[in-house]
Amino acid sequence: MVVGRPNTGKSTLLNAIMGQKVAITSPLPQTTRKSQRVVYSEERGKIVFSDTPGIIDKVEDLVGKMINTQAPKEMNRADVLVCLVDISRPKNEEENKLIGLVRKSPAKKILVYNKIDQAIGSKDHLPDYNYLEEEFDRTISISAIKEKNVKGLITMIFDLLSEGNSNNAKEEAETVLSEGKPMMGMDSKEYISEIIREKTYLFLRREVPYSIKVVVDEVVDKHKIMVIKATIFTTYDRYKKMIIGMGGKKIKEIGYNARKELELMSERKVYLELTVKVDKHWPEEFKL
C-alpha cells in the first residue's frame, strides 16, 4: 500500500512502477478519490499495489470526509506500507496524522523520500523526516517523476514480502491478469471518467474541481472510431460557466486534451462529447 499526505507523488510513483498510466495526477490535493489496486508482475513474482487518497487534516465537505476514510480502511489489508514523504516541503499536521496511522499498522514499512530532484537549497527539508528512519524497516530516496531509484524500491518491497502473502492477493492478481488488465475494480467507463476529471483539475481554477463529478454515459465502438459521451456534473451555475468558459473555450480545452490521451492509450480515433450539468445534490449521493 502506498500512503502519504496529498501531493507527495503517490499516483506518480504508481505510474512509474507500472510503466504506464494507471492513476490520474494533478497538483491539487485528493485528485485520487478512492483506493485503487493494480497488479505489478515480473519474474520475481506479482505484487498487488494499492494507491490511496492523501489524508487532509481538516475537511468540511461530504466528499472530502468520505475520501479521508479510504487510507485507514486499506491499511488493514497491507503486508507492506510504502510511506511517501515529499522532502521538498516541510512536515505538517497532515503528515503527523498519517505517521500516527502508520505506527499502528503491523505491516512491514518502507520510508520513501520523494522529490529528491526538487529538494534543493531552501527546499531541502530532509532533516524534518530523518528521525523517522528508526521506525521503518527500510529507507530509500527517489524521484518518482524522474523514475530515479524506483527499481530499487521495487526490490525492497519484494525483499519484505513473503511468498504467498495473505488477503487473497494471489487470487486477486491472477483474476486481473487473466482479464488482460492491470487494474482492479475499475471498468472502462470509470477509467475514462477519471481521465476527463484529471483534465478538469488541470485546466480549471483551484476551487472548481472539488465540486466536479464525471459520468460516462455512453461508449460506442464504431470500428474506425470510438464515440464517447460524458457528463460533467457540478454544484453551482457559476461553476458551470467556469467549466464551459468564454465562448466554450475551456470545455473545448478539457475535451481536446482528454480525447488526445484516450486516443494515445487506445490507439483508436476517439470522438468525445462533453455536457456540463448542475446538480447541487451529487455530493450527498457520492459513493466510493
The set of cell numbers assigned to 269 is: 480515433
- Is the pLDDT at 85 greater than 90? The verdict is yes
Residue 147, class by beta-carbon neighbours within 10 Å (0-12 exposed, 13-18 middle, 19+ buried)?
middle
- Is the pLDDT at 149 greater than 90? The verdict is yes
User: Where in the chain is CATH 3.40.50.300?
Assistant: 2-183
Distance CA 7, CA 29 (A): 6
Decide if 243 contacts 200 (C-beta within 8 A): yes
Helices (H), the chain: 10-18, 62-67, 70-75, 93-104, 150-160, 169-178, 188-203, 237-244, 249-266, 282-285
Distance CA 162, CA 58 (A): 37
User: Where in the chain is CATH 3.30.300.20?
Assistant: 187-285
Confidence of residue 175 (pLDDT cuts 50, 70, 90): low
Q: What's the rounded mean pLDDT across residues 159-180?
A: 64
187-285 topology per CATH? GMP Synthetase; Chain A, domain 3 (3.30.300)
Q: What's the rounded mean pLDDT across residues 256-262?
A: 94
Residue 242 has phi, psi (to 5 degrees) of -65, -40
The set of cell numbers assigned to 25 is: 495526477
Distance CA 8, CA 232 (A): 27
Q: What's CA 117's distance to the chain center, in Å?
A: 21
Q: What percent of the chain has pLDDT over 90?
A: 49
Nearest to 2 by CA among 44, 35, 45: 35
- Residue 171: HSE in the Cβ half-sphere, 13 Å Cα cutoff: 3
pLDDT value of position 62: 66
Confidence of residue 228 (pLDDT cuts 50, 70, 90): very high
pLDDT value of position 170: 65
Q: What dotted CATH number matches 2-183?
A: 3.40.50.300
